[in-house]
Amino acid sequence: MTAQPAQRPRLLQAMVDAFRQEDVRRKLLFTLAMLVIFRFVAHVPIPNVDRDALEDAFAGNALLDFLSIFSGGALQNLSVAALGVYPYITASIIVQIMTPLVPSWRALGEEGEAGRRRLQLYTHWLAPIMAFVQGYGQIVFINSQGANVVSDFGIIDHPVGTLATLLTLAAGTMFLVWLGELITENGIGNGISIIIFGGIVASLPGQIPNLTTQSIVAIAGFAIFALALIYLVIFFQEAQRRVPVQYARSAFRGGRMYRQQGQSHIPLRVNMAGMIPLIFAFSIMILPPIMASYFTDSGGWTESVADFLVQQFQGGRGGGGTGWYWLILFLMVVGFTFFYTMVQYQQQQIAKNLQRQGAFIPGIRPGAPTEAYLIRVVTRITWAGAFFLGFVAVLPFFVGLATDVRALTISTTGFLIVVAVVLDTMKQLESQLLMRNYEGFIR
């Protein structure tokens, strides 16, 4: 008898199968090429930057370190991609929130693909404006932390230099958005998410030197926390409540029309809001220390209040800040989760679509009773998603207390983004392989 060759591990075999397919291989290589271009742009600095002053501004500043993680270090380099794609994400969130509130936008949302494209166009128009606002705020804050990091900057004193700098930052943001859309059209995965993923992962090698300053026990404890967090993120990202649905369908037999009952389900996700509540909450929690930093040398009671706010709210990464900071952050994440989940649910109009299609939930009358029932179910399961996101937000505080590995603790928001993007990309690659009768990554 001849020995059978050892079978490759399933994940490795699926990767080999993916590269065997020319079109899938082309998509993967295209995605990788766009990420390489993104990383190149992340190292092209904007003009009039004092590198020494920039290093001094970032030295020991947990808040700037936290902001730099999401730009893949581009903010620490003050490159043309320093803002990343977050102005675009902010614009997208604003458009999503305003759609149910503005009648004309709500009508566009109900027009199908053409309406969604119009709303997408509004997002693209709003993104450069948000880039101007966020870029100005970040550079003013960085200048306040160092000795004139960006020269020729100030609306009153240097309007031309300020405009040139903000135009550069806005152009960098829109270039990254364009790269993301190219990935969506010609690569694998959601392009904007892939760009964010690439920026977060690119910041990880810079933390490797910190390993030498930590004990083996602390690093082992941190690794256990990381593995447990990966499991929880995957569990809650995939968790859903399946609401049974019945619908009538017509069948033509023997020259006569018959009505048959079919069955399906509505998959209501436990974490319908995704990572948006975390972005909302962290964005608001960042404001107090930024605003207070302008008054830390003002003297009197103003300086005392400013010092108190900086001490209490400068959470940054790695378990910084006080217990009050993390408690307020937890409550804000839970509140924003419910808010954004309801916004998302209202836009889907599930009850109206069920009634239009002649479908119904067993035991529930169509129309208003179905709407009330679904809202009750969504509210109930959102409690689990909200507390999970709140736990993810405050986990660095407990990791820092338990392991004292503050220098190695990346933002759990970034952790959630990385795992969610990997899952989404694997699912899309899975579908590509299954279309060609190959086994994918996911059972």
* pTM: predicted TM-score of the whole model, two decimal places: 0.75
- Give residue 5's pLDDT: 43
- Give residue 70's pLDDT: 62
- Give residue 6's pLDDT: 43
- Give residue 178's pLDDT: 93
Please state which of the four CATH numbers 3.40.50.300, 1.10.3210.10, 1.10.3370.10, 1.10.10.60 is assigned to the domain occupying 210-443.
1.10.3370.10
- Give residue 319's pLDDT: 42
- Same fold for the pair 22-203 and 210-443: yes
Spatial separation of the C-alpha atoms in residues 364 and 292, rounded to whole Å: 53
From residue 52, alpha-carbon distances to 26, 77, 96, 118, 288 in Å are: 42, 11, 41, 45, 27
Q: 284: Cβ–Cβ under 8 A, 6 or more apart, which residues?
A: 332
Spatial separation of the C-alpha atoms in residues 19 and 31, rounded to whole Å: 13
- Give residue 128's pLDDT: 92
Q: Which residues of 372-408 are buried (b: 16+ CB within 10 A; e: fewer)?
A: ebbeeebeebbeebbebbbbbbbbbbebbeebbbbeb
- Give residue 60's pLDDT: 60
- Give residue 2's pLDDT: 42
Spatial separation of the C-alpha atoms in residues 419 and 31, rounded to whole Å: 18
Which sequence spans correspond to the domains of the chain? 22-203, 210-443
Assign 257 to helix, strand or coil. Answer: strand
Please state which of the four CATH numbers 1.10.3370.10, 1.20.1250.20, 3.40.570.10, 1.20.1250.30 is assigned to the domain occupying 22-203.
1.10.3370.10
- Give residue 296's pLDDT: 63
- Give residue 45's pLDDT: 84
Mean pLDDT by 10 residues, the chain (443 residues): 45 67 83 90 84 75 65 77 85 82 79 80 91 84 75 78 89 92 86 82 68 69 76 83 77 53 79 79 72 67 72 51 76 88 80 79 83 90 90 74 52 71 76 64 53
